[in-house]
Amino acid sequence: MEIVFQLVVPLGIVFVLLLLGSTVGRSRERRHFAELDQREEENRDFVLTDLKTVPIGMQPAGATLVTGATVIAADYLKTFLSGFRMIFGGEMRSYSSMIERARREARLRMVEEARHKGALAVINVRFETSPIALNTGRNAAPMSEVLCYGTALLPEGR
């Protein structure tokens, strides 16, 4: 009986911690997506393009570089569960949502910087990503940095 108790209690603790991590992680992710939706709605009138040319009808007086960057990390539950996905293969949806959140956040930060500078639009928008490994081995948490940058078109007087 004592052996069963020594086995069940640690497994129960691990299960409770994984469940808690899952609940908190999903809640934070949903809240972040809702915040991103709201901020994107507030900025939907701002002109962004990956083209290198000035949009027709705009006559900017100047231009400047604007950037937005963020680092998003996967929680330990996603990291733990991704180990199973690596065995069987397939898309890692949890990491896909992590990268989507990072790209959207970086783009919004760039737009907010451009608005702060009084820009009319941002052209030649580009994304760069890079993995970050603070730890290696069993305690490594996957993280990704996303940088979004572009050329902000400024009106006269800026």
Q: What is the pLDDT of residues 24-78, one digit of tens each?
A: 888 888 999 999 999 999 999 999 999 999 988 888 999 999 999 999 877 767 7
The pLDDT score that the predictor gives to residue 1 is 65
| H or E stretch at 1 | none
Token pair 């580009």 in the structure block, residue? 126
Alpha carbons 92 and 107: distance in angstroms, whole number: 23
Look at residues 57, 55, 5, 37 and name the one whose alpha carbon lies nearest to residue 108. Answer: 37
Q: What is the pLDDT of residues 86-101, one digit of tens each?
A: 777 777 777 788 889 9
| H or E stretch at 35 | helix 2-42
Ordered by where they begin, the domains of the chain are 2-154 (3.30.110.70)
| Residue 141's pLDDT band (cuts 50, 70, 90) | low
Task: Evaluate whether 117 touches 158 at the Cβ level (below 8 Å).
Answer: yes
- Phi and psi based region of residue 32 (left: phi greater than 0; alpha: psi -120 to 50; beta: remaining): alpha
The pLDDT score that the predictor gives to residue 106 is 97
The pLDDT score that the predictor gives to residue 26 is 84
The pTM for the full model equals: 0.82
Q: Give me the phi and psi of 147, to 5 degrees please.
A: -115, 130
- Phi and psi based region of residue 59 (left: phi greater than 0; alpha: psi -120 to 50; beta: remaining): beta
Strands of the 143-154 sheet, one edge to the other: 47-48, 121-132, 143-154, 62-73
